[in-house]
């Protein structure tokens, strides 16, 4: 992440790829590999559907230890839903 807590060049590269290749994004995955200190983004897409532009933004949901205990991810799901509802489409 950049100093402004954005995904910076990585977000731009993913958006550019989708736009330039005229694809419809179907799934976007993000994983932070702590041991390597790398952020990995995957983009699943369809080439046989109408294309549309995408934009990736980083949103803080809070501390992970307070959002999920064991296998109960209710608080995390709620935080994700609230963040999505605030997004400007």
- Answer yes or no: do 51 and 63 share one domain: no
Are residues 43 and 17 part of one domain? yes
Express each pLDDT in 61-87 by its tens digit.
Answer: 877 777 666 677 888 888 888 988 888
Identify the band that residue 1 occupies on the pLDDT scale cut at 50, 70 and 90: low
Written as one string, the DSSP assignment of 39-79 is: EEEEEEEESSS--------------HHHH-BTTB-HHHHHH
| Residues 7, 45 within the same domain | yes
Let me know whether 50 and 65 are in one domain. Answer: no
- Count structural domains, the chain: 2
Tell whether 42 and 70 lie within a shared domain: no
State whether 64 and 51 are in the same domain: no
State the Cα–Cα distance between residues 82 and 72, nearest whole angstrom. Answer: 18
Tell me which residue range forms the domain holding 44.
1-56
**Model confidence at 54: pLDDT above 90:** yes
pLDDT in tens, 10-49: 889 999 999 999 999 999 988 888 888 888 889 999 999 9
Is this prediction's pTM over 0.85? no
Query: Are 16 and 31 members of one domain?
Result: yes
């Amino acid at each position: 992440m950049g100093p402004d807590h954005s995904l910076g060049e990585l977000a731009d590269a993913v958006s550019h790829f989708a736009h330039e290749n005229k694809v419809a994004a179907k799934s976007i995955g993000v994983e932070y590999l702590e041991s390597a200190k790398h952020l990995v983004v995957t983009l699943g897409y369809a080439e046989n559907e109408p294309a549309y532009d995408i934009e990736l933004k980083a949103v803080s949901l809070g501390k992970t230890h307070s959002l999920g205990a064991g296998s109960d991810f209710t608080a995390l799901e709620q935080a994700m839903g609230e963040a999505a509802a605030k997004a400007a489409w």
